[in-house]
Copies of this chain bind each other. A is one copy, B any other.
Amino acid sequence: MKEVKVVLYGIGAIGRRMASALLEKKWAKIVGAVDIDPNKVGRDLGDLIGKKPLGVIISDDPDAVLSEAKPHIVVHTTTSYLRDTYPQFVKILGHGVNVVSTCEELSYPYVTEEQRELAEKLDKLAREKGVTILGTGINPGFLMDTLVITLTGPCIRVDRIEVVRQMNAATRRVPFQRKIGAGLTVEEFKRKISSHEITGHVGLEQSIGMIADALGWRLDEVRVEPVEPVIAERPVESEAVKVPAGYCAGLRQRAMGVRGGEAVITLDFRAYIGAEEEYDAITIEGVPTIRERISPCVHGDYGTVGITINSIPKVIKAEPGLKTMKDLPIPSATPSRA
């Protein structure tokens, strides 16, 4: 495999994990790093991730980094919403550089008219520049869409699909535990939902859209239910958060793809401290019915880093344009250093 020059755009918790993982890949070389955080700008990326200096200085000027480093691809990890990431993508593609991003809405950017318009512009620009842009991640990007679609492959007929991801938030980063409202009263939880401080999981609509598209299903409606608190029945805790009984341990969120009045695709996402079982379960009802389960559930951070990095060679090799995971060859791990 030829050496791939990578620029990291976004050096948050996930961006730093991307950096560490890329250092273990002999086929990859980190040649630049972009972040706007003044506490990071000017620092060596290696220092920041607790390794030896890499000679890669974090910059807040993506144009300068892209012009000088001339990467094959940007690994982009800034925010979830296409409205915010769109100008960043335009800039990167404008330099004739491929993109793989964890932006949730990019994983299947055809859910709203606004997203579709932005996606079409990105697709056009990428084609003009002869490069490819992909949104991926563990979820959306793999567990509730790519893997689901793959498991319909042996089915002569598919009637209904149900997917559950249940994780014990105690095993995850503390900011994630806060983000799902663990430790709040139910009142506080509801207030933070209203004020959009708690947004829930971003991606259910994208995953439903991708599944329906892959199966050639026309849905009448994608219904996203309100985020619900999961209330602790007994006291539970993580290393960082104590949840008394009656308080919020985390959240649950469901979305359905509806056709002819029936929920033909149901996605059910549950993340809370004290979940007794952790799993990713997929049921394809049809001929044959396929009941699949990954247990424990795939760790979100590792999984996101893995699928993103492993997509790099496929993005570089793909035809130009905006792609989704259903357009690319089957996912596969890439070789690590011996």
A→B interface (CB under 8 Å): 1, 21, 24, 138, 142, 146-147, 149-158, 214-217, 286-288, 290-296, 298-299, 302-307, 309-310, 325-336
Q: Which 7 A-B pairs have the closest CB atoms?
A: A153-B331, A152-B333, A154-B303, A216-B335, A154-B306, A214-B332, A288-B302
Contact B306 A156 (CB under 8 A): yes
Give A216 to B329 CA distance when docked, in angstroms. 15
From B150, B158, B288, B299, A288 is in contact (CB under 8 Å) with B299
A148: nearest chain-B partner, CB-CB: B332
Q: List 21 A-B contacts (CB under 8 A).
A: A24-B157, A146-B150, A147-B150, A150-B332, A152-B310, A154-B307, A154-B331, A155-B310, A156-B306, A157-B333, A215-B332, A216-B335, A288-B298, A288-B299, A291-B294, A292-B293, A292-B294, A293-B295, A327-B329, A329-B329, A329-B330
A336: nearest chain-B partner, CB-CB: B157
A303: nearest chain-B partner, CB-CB: B154
Contact A150 B329 (CB under 8 A): no
Contact B138 A142 (CB under 8 A): no
For the residues of A in contact with B, the DSSP-based class is mixed
> A215 contacts which chain B residues (CB < 8 A)?
332-335
Contact A153 B290 (CB under 8 A): no
Give A108 to B21 CA distance when docked, in angstroms. 31
Quick one: which of A1, A156, A295, A328 has the most chain B CB within 10 A?
A: A156
Give A331 to B331 CA distance when docked, in angstroms. 11
Give A215 to B1 CA distance when docked, in angstroms. 11
Contact A331 B298 (CB under 8 A): no
Contact A153 B142 (CB under 8 A): yes
Quick one: which of A217, A296, A298, A310 has the most chain B CB within 10 A?
A: A298
Contact B286 A290 (CB under 8 A): no
Give A332 to B296 CA distance when docked, in angstroms. 25
> A287 contacts which chain B residues (CB < 8 A)?
302, 306
A26 to chain B, nearest CB (A): 10
